[in-house]
Chain A
């Protein structure tokens, strides 16, 4: 069964403390791996799309990487405004499936 799992469920960091979020997947026919940011009470906001193993994309303090079995969202020197839930999702030929997300909290 196609599945995507995110870890940890929640992560609390001090401002400036770098870390990584994990998204592992078992899927046949991966067409794309997506990362989203979701603030409370709002719809998810698109961050990155990764299509092939070895691909990397960056945006400000965030960098997403992809291997054959998992993706990482690295956050470097985070700020309190980076606090949010980060969702990953994969696209197969027929649908897009989301993980349950990682709630990231950055303390000033």
Chain B
């Protein structure tokens, strides 16, 4: 069966520090992978999606970047965090035309 792992679960980082959040998927090959951000009490905002290794599409201009170095690995990064980067970050995968399976999320607080 397919599983998705996302870590860390919580993270407190100072403004200006770098960020790296990792997501891995097991039990499937060539999945579509996604990074979402969810602000408190609000819906999910799509940040990046990837349909294959090295293929990244950005949905909104921002201080973040994404990379997909391996088929089942998706990384969200920042060189210098801003206060506005705080939020709940979710990784997800899907097969074409089907719904998402989400990771457990990372609560990022930038202080």
Contact = CB atoms under 8 A, between A and B. Distances in A.
B43 A87 contact: yes
A42 B100 contact: no
Contacts, number: 53
Contacts of B44: 44, 87, 89, 98
Nearest to A96: B100
A79 to B, nearest CB: 24
B99 A43 contact: no
A95 B103 contact: no
A24 interface: no
Interface of B: 6, 36, 41-44, 46, 49, 88, 90, 92, 94, 97-105, 107
Interface of A: 31-32, 34, 36, 41-46, 49, 87, 89, 91, 95-101, 103
